[in-house]
Amino acid sequence: MKRKLARCLSLPLLLLSLLPLVACAQERLVEVQVVDLDQGNWLTRLPHAGRDYIEGRPGHRFSVSMQNLTGERVLAVLSVDGVNAISGQTAAASQAGYVLEPYQQVEIRGWRKSYSDIAEFYFTDLPDSYAARTGRPANVGVIGVAAFRERRPPPVAYQPPPSPPPYYPSPYGYGRDEARERAAAKSAAPSNQAADAASSSGGLARQESSAPRPAPQELGTGHGQRRYDPVSQTHFERASWRPNQRVSLYYDSREALVAKGVIRERYYDYARTPDAFPAGFAPDPD
């Protein structure tokens, strides 16, 4: 099944006042996992200091697996190292993304080069990463997904047909039609309350935060070999400009994750931690 790619068109600023207000609580629309394609397994999440980390192996190809958990279409904007995986732009949640059908699972294996092919993701040294090679190394080391619900037209409330005005026989000999017109003229009155109640205003909140890294980043995502991976274009209108869900997975090499305290060695490395009183007798030298 072809994946569907949504291109998001910018709307006039006037339309921002018509956007619905969204709840602050984050929904769970999409399950995100990173798959090591060379080993054939999902990379385990390692929680540390409020973040989820994964261990990447240099040279290994990987994909980002996204599973739609809902019975409706969902838009997922994928960012790798702070770069939009479709357009190559510095990533923003308002940009183009992948449209997932109800309960659909897709694997995004690389940077989108056209509607028919991609350049594979693979773990590499930071200077060789696509972001660094295009002059944007500041956000190397994180994979992000911003998920949106689709806008649905509000249901139309049932309105019964208007009842005809009452008929009153006239003692002065007026006809039926003339009496009806007089009764309708008395009951008619302008009403603008519905239009006033329909007007509303909304705001757009910008939320940007970044925590300093405790240790230098070692790994990044490279621009790998081209492979056939077709998609098609579709239309998707977001329910709001704020993502209903944001996911961030941080990654680095094992050595860097140990240095950051994400991975704790279970055993001491005796080659680096000498023991003053090792057991045994003194052997003959070689």
Under 8 Å between Cβ of 257 and 263: yes
Q: If we measure between CA atoms, which residue out of 150, 63, 143, 36 comes closest to residue 100?
A: 150
Structure tokens at 64: 């980002």
Q: What is the mean pLDDT of the chain?
A: 78
- Indicate if the alpha-carbon torsion angle 51, 55, 59, 62 is positive or negative: negative
Looking up tokens 């519905």, which residue turns up? 194
Global model pTM greater than 0.75? no
CA distance 22 to 94: 16
Tokens of 160: 């019964």
The confidence band for 193, taking pLDDT boundaries of 50, 70 and 90, is very low
By C-alpha distance, which of 60, 145, 50, 63 is closest to 97?
A: 145
Q: Would you say residue 10 has pLDDT above 50?
A: no
Q: How many CA atoms lie within 13 A of 80 on its CB side?
A: 32
Token duo for residue 207: 């939320």
Q: Which residues 6+ apart lie within 8 Å of 262 measured at CB? A: 46, 48, 53, 252
- Number of Cβ within a 10 Å radius of residue 84: 20
Q: 81 CB contacts (<8 Å, ≥6 apart)?
A: 129, 130, 131, 136, 139, 140, 141, 142, 143, 220, 221
pLDDT at 31 over 90: yes
- Look at phi and psi of residue 261 and say left if phi exceeds 0, alpha if psi is from -120 to 50, else beta: left
Are 143 and 66 spatial neighbours (Cβ–Cβ below 8 Å)? no
Neighbours of 175 (CB within 10 A): 9
Q: What does residue 139 show for φ and ψ, rounded to 5 degrees? A: -115, 25
Query: Domain residue spans in the chain?
Result: 3-10+23-153+218-259
pLDDT number for residue 277: 63
Q: What is the pLDDT of residues 115-133, one digit of tens each?
A: 999 999 999 999 999 999 9
Q: Minimum mean pLDDT among 9-23, 182-196, 245-259: which range?
A: 9-23
